[in-house]
Amino acid sequence: MAEEVIHAASWLINPGAPPVAGGALFVRNGVIADTGPLSVLRSAYSAPVLDYPGCVLLPGFVNAHTHLELTHFPSWKLRSSVDYNPRRFSDWIIQLIKISRGLTAEEYPPSIREGVRMCLESGTTAIGEIVTNPALAGLYYHSPLAGRLYFELLGQDSSHFTSKLAAAKAATDHGEAETLLSGLSPHSTYTIAQEHLAAIREVSASHSLPLAIHLSESRFEADFLFDGSGELASEFYPFVGWERFLGRPARCSSTELLDRHGLLTPTSLAVHCVHVSVADARILKSRGVHIALCPRSNKLLDVGMAPVHLFRKLDIPLALGTDSLASNNSLSLWDELRFALKTFPNDLSEQDVFHMVTAGGAAALGILATCGSLEAGKRADFQVVGNCDGSEQGLLERVMREGIPQEVYAGGVRYVPPEAPDFKNI
């Protein structure tokens, strides 16, 4: 017998549409079968009703850029003997690598599970996750989250890179979960040799694997790509043993380099984009690239802020990501969107950020057909948000600035947080 239920609230809000008073969702077997006013759905379907008076139904949020395997980084940092006090972007990368080298394989699964929990509890039901170890992919497939897993690629040495590419490709060939699709993540232009970019393009195109790329996150990347100078050359490359690969600057920006090798397409996701020029932005626009902004991470790492005014002027599609707890204070997109509103008050409205964390994020990950809005045929990913009751006037503004997620459903299933440990019995 079909599992059917109607979820109702004082309002239902979809991106790009006016709020529906007394809005409701008819969910059948984890999929939205119909939407509309509760009075209409109640007369059409003989299903039980779960009503949330004084609340709003919103789509589950889509976090376009995550590294959930680093969720336990704050505790790893505290127990590490590494003198963790980064002052520059290159310091942060080096110290992150030092701490990671002290970890065992057994420490990553609980970190990922905690990241999944943090996402769901804060209303996120889909992610664009960077996976450094394909062996961990099963942890995501068995979670309630939807989205896309981007398997990371990096390396200068041909044998190391070829091995990473083969492992990533094999992971994408292993029957991906229906709700978690696959992609590739060439880490950045300074961690992959130029001669490997053609191979990435070929595998991406032949296997229909979208790309997610850290692009122009810091000024050090811009300096290094153009003339081989700066702290990436003097500190990072020697630290990872890549000195022999120095001396071959691209003499262009990261965006230009990726474009030359055909890695910028409508299925490409450029992450950060803090230090892009007008010319770079025009290339991104012309290629149909989506951008995932991570403003809190950029602030914490002191790399600058992305030129959002330029992206908005060129109408480049935007999404939001939290990055990881190695460079952020939470995995909550509610925190991220509110920071974005404060940081870009003249460039982003409440309607803009709502679109970025719903339909915009889903479009960036190529999952808009199943996620990102509350429409018939899509996965029943939604959140019940309180603390925002009132009239339709200014409703979305109140929701974005004051709303608090009270219930979260992923695939029609209510997320129940794991029980807290009983410290009295420990």
CATH number at residue 284: 3.20.20.140
| Same domain? 55 vs 68 | no
Report the alpha-carbon distance of residue 207 to residue 346 in Å, rounded. 41
Backbone torsions φ then ψ of 15, nearest 5 degrees: -60, 135
Rounded to two decimals, what is the model's pTM?
Answer: 0.96
pLDDT value for 2? 59
Q: What dihedral do alpha carbons 188, 193, 199, 200 form, nearest 10°?
A: 0
| Same domain? 148 vs 197 | yes
Asked if pLDDT for residue 367 goes beyond 80, the answer is yes
Sign of the alpha-carbon torsion through 132, 89, 280, 234 = negative
Q: pLDDT tens-digit profile of 233-292?
A: 999 999 999 999 998 899 999 999 999 999 999 999 999 999 999 999 999 999 999 999
CB of 126 within 8 A of CB of 322? no
| Same domain? 231 vs 265 | yes
Decide if 425 is inside a domain.
Answer: no
Q: What is the count of structural domains for the chain?
A: 2
Backbone torsions φ then ψ of 369, nearest 5 degrees: -70, -20
Mean predicted lDDT score pLDDT of the chain: 95
| Same domain? 202 vs 266 | yes
CB of 18 within 8 A of CB of 39? no
Report the alpha-carbon distance of residue 138 to residue 274 in Å, rounded. 33
pLDDT band at 388 (very low <50, low <70, confident <90, very high): confident
Q: Which domain holds residue 131?
A: 61-365
The set of residues, in sequence order, having a beta carbon less than 8 Å from that of 16 and lying 6+ positions away, is 355, 359
pLDDT band at 187 (very low <50, low <70, confident <90, very high): very high
Q: Quote the Cα angle for 250-242-212, to 5°.
A: 60
Asked if pLDDT for residue 422 goes beyond 60, the answer is no
| Same domain? 155 vs 28 | no
| Same domain? 223 vs 345 | yes
| Same domain? 132 vs 200 | yes
Residue labelled with tokens 């690969």: 245
pLDDT band at 309 (very low <50, low <70, confident <90, very high): very high
Asked if pLDDT for residue 222 goes beyond 90, the answer is yes
Decide if 327 is inside a domain.
Answer: yes
Residue labelled with tokens 């110290």: 95
C-alpha of 109 from chain center:
19
Q: pLDDT tens-digit profile of 323-337?
A: 999 999 999 999 999
CB of 112 within 8 A of CB of 149? no
pLDDT value for 18? 95
Residue 258's closest CA among 309, 162, 192? 192
Decide if 387 is inside a domain.
Answer: yes
pLDDT band at 1 (very low <50, low <70, confident <90, very high): very low
| Same domain? 300 vs 397 | no
CATH classification of the domain holding 399: 2.30.40.10
The set of residues, in sequence order, having a beta carbon less than 8 Å from that of 244 and lying 6+ positions away, is none
Share of the chain above pLDDT 90, in %: 92
| Same domain? 115 vs 14 | no
Decide if 426 is inside a domain.
Answer: no
- Amino acid, res. 377: G
Decide if 297 is inside a domain.
Answer: yes
| Same domain? 70 vs 19 | no
CB of 34 within 8 A of CB of 380? no
| Same domain? 144 vs 26 | no
The set of residues, in sequence order, having a beta carbon less than 8 Å from that of 333 and lying 6+ positions away, is 61, 63, 122, 123, 124, 320, 322, 357
Maximum Cα–Cα distance for the chain, whole Å? 72
| Same domain? 65 vs 198 | yes
Query: 110-124 as b/e, with b when 16 or more CB fall inside 10 Å?
Result: ebbbbbbbbbbebbb
Decide if 424 is inside a domain.
Answer: no
Asked if pLDDT for residue 138 goes beyond 80, the answer is yes
Average pLDDT, stretch 207-221?
Answer: 97
Helical spans, DSSP H, in 242-358: 254-260, 278-286, 295-300, 308-314, 333-343, 350-356
Decide if 422 is inside a domain.
Answer: no
Decide if 388 is inside a domain.
Answer: yes
Backbone torsions φ then ψ of 356, nearest 5 degrees: -65, -35
